[in-house]
Structure 1
């Protein structure tokens, strides 16, 4: 256990407390505060939640609200619903089609995010993008998607990327349901919607909660939208992960960036505690 504990201590625990310490200072990369940072107490946190500019673009509050909207549309509504729908539809298709679809979905999931990000950028590029070439061939006007609809671009991108995990999770959950349940429903003349509503959904409710918590945590911290929009235009896609990067590693305000990181860590901690609580209840229910 000693080597593992040493690695965890060096790369997880020590940076955790170091970030908390830096968040109470005005440390920067350049100037006097780079060598001798001053203790500023809660000034960095007070600046983050300053009501006078909380909702201004480029500020912490705007990025926090934007991140909540991003999680709502791309994770909860997009990934979870789309993954659940695809997994349910896969139960009724022939086995070769199901295997082919699962292979394609897993491929989308395991590809590096950088590769997918640049592929989507090439697809949506105004001048030479595949999307606009298709529209032009159909006689439809071209669109500057990354400039006019940047938020919805990253929502669709993250939904396409993350729905694969939800689909695989729900597909496994549906496969664990005894076939006799659905056979009895078929004899009773139940429709596909009735079987989904009255049989499948109640039996996979625990998996739904697990999926929602996990994809919420992942989407809350995702940095890949930076590859498409770099947080722009005009901070319209600057979610918290990109905001933290800009403050800490572009503006070099390490103290303020550390304060943002601490806030994000506590939000993630809340999600993790909820997940652990749900997992314990699920394990207790299975044991009974």
Structure 2
């Protein structure tokens, strides 16, 4: 390669870097820098009040040692697992697939109407959804009006069944995303494959088990990962409906992190909790990929 060609390549590289520089700068400022600061602050005593507020120090792994000795942290981890398992994996993914499967090959007008109804919940702001469910499950809400028709005493749903309440609310809001993902994947399955299976004597369940699900396995893995990561970060819905209570019964890791960082003003401790949440999300993603044997 002669010198002219090398100079031209360097010139093109410089021009490309020049055009990309605004994006790279924004990425550095709004993504990379906050991540680096979060890691650094998690090893400090950063606080907004008290003596530590004016005496920032590196304290090593003290925040993490404190965290794993904190009973409320262990409760929050368990609540997070329950919330994600039932509202994301067993809730949104299952019902999203079920609705998409039932709407497959249905009349396009019917699909549009059902799809719009379900998507309406998804596009509604999370805080609005929360207040709707608070009103629905309130002492004088629709839920108690319905059970009253059967001469059943009113129930304090958000106090008696707090975790069930937030799980149902999150399923109601988030199922639309899974439905759209699975609907697209199911529509791409060649009809000839399923028709051939039916002609060979396969039942509907056998076709679903041995043809439909294996052909959308990659989509299932991707959807489960996305829904799990989204559900791990759910804060507004839970905090608006229950505030993490009663007690700590619905205090998931995002709620616990918020209380430590912005209620108790222990920002260093709060950022340490956020790192643990990040590790849990990464671990869950790797587990799904390994279990479903899908390369992403």
The normalised TM-score by structure 2 is: 0.86
1:159-203 per-position Cα deviation (integer Å, ceiling 9, x unaligned): 112221111111111100111122223434433222211221111
Q: 1:286 is matched with which residue?
A: none
Q: How does 1:119-130 map to 2 (within 5 A)?
A: 119-126=132-139, 128-130=140-142
Runs of 4 or more above 4 Å deviation: 271-278, 280-283
Q: What is the rounded CA distance, in whole Å, between the counterparts of 1:282 and 1:258 in structure 2?
A: 31
Q: What is the rounded CA distance, in whole Å, between the counterparts of 2:158 and 2:221 in structure 1?
A: 33
Q: What is the rounded CA distance, in whole Å, between the counterparts of 2:185 and 2:172 in structure 1?
A: 21
Q: What is the rounded CA distance, in whole Å, between the counterparts of 1:230 and 1:265 in structure 2?
A: 22
Q: What is the rounded CA distance, in whole Å, between the counterparts of 1:273 and 1:190 in structure 2?
A: 34
Return 5+ residue gaps in structure 1 as ranges. 284-288
Q: 1:205 is matched with which residue?
A: 217
Q: 1:73 is matched with which residue?
A: 86
1:171 aligns with 2:183: yes
Q: What is the rounded CA distance, in whole Å, between the counterparts of 2:173 and 2:203 in structure 1?
A: 31
Shift of 1:62: 1.3
Q: How does 1:265-280 map to 2 (within 5 A)?
A: 265-271=278-284
Structure with higher Rg: it is: 2
CA contact (8 A) 2:218 2:294 kept: no
Q: What is the rounded CA distance, in whole Å, between the counterparts of 2:283 and 2:151 in structure 1?
A: 50
Shift of 1:277: 8.8
1:42 aligns with 2:61: yes
Q: What is the rounded CA distance, in whole Å, between the counterparts of 2:114 and 2:181 in structure 1?
A: 14
Shift of 1:158: 1.2
Identify the match of residue 83 of structure 1 among 86, 96, 100: 96
RMSD over aligned CA atoms reads 2.2
The normalised TM-score by structure 1 is: 0.88
Q: 2:107 is matched with which residue?
A: 94
1:142 aligns with 2:157: no
1:9 aligns with 2:28: yes
Q: What is the rounded CA distance, in whole Å, between the counterparts of 1:69 and 1:272 in structure 2?
A: 17
1:217-246 per-position Cα deviation (integer Å, ceiling 9, x unaligned): 111111121111010001100000000000
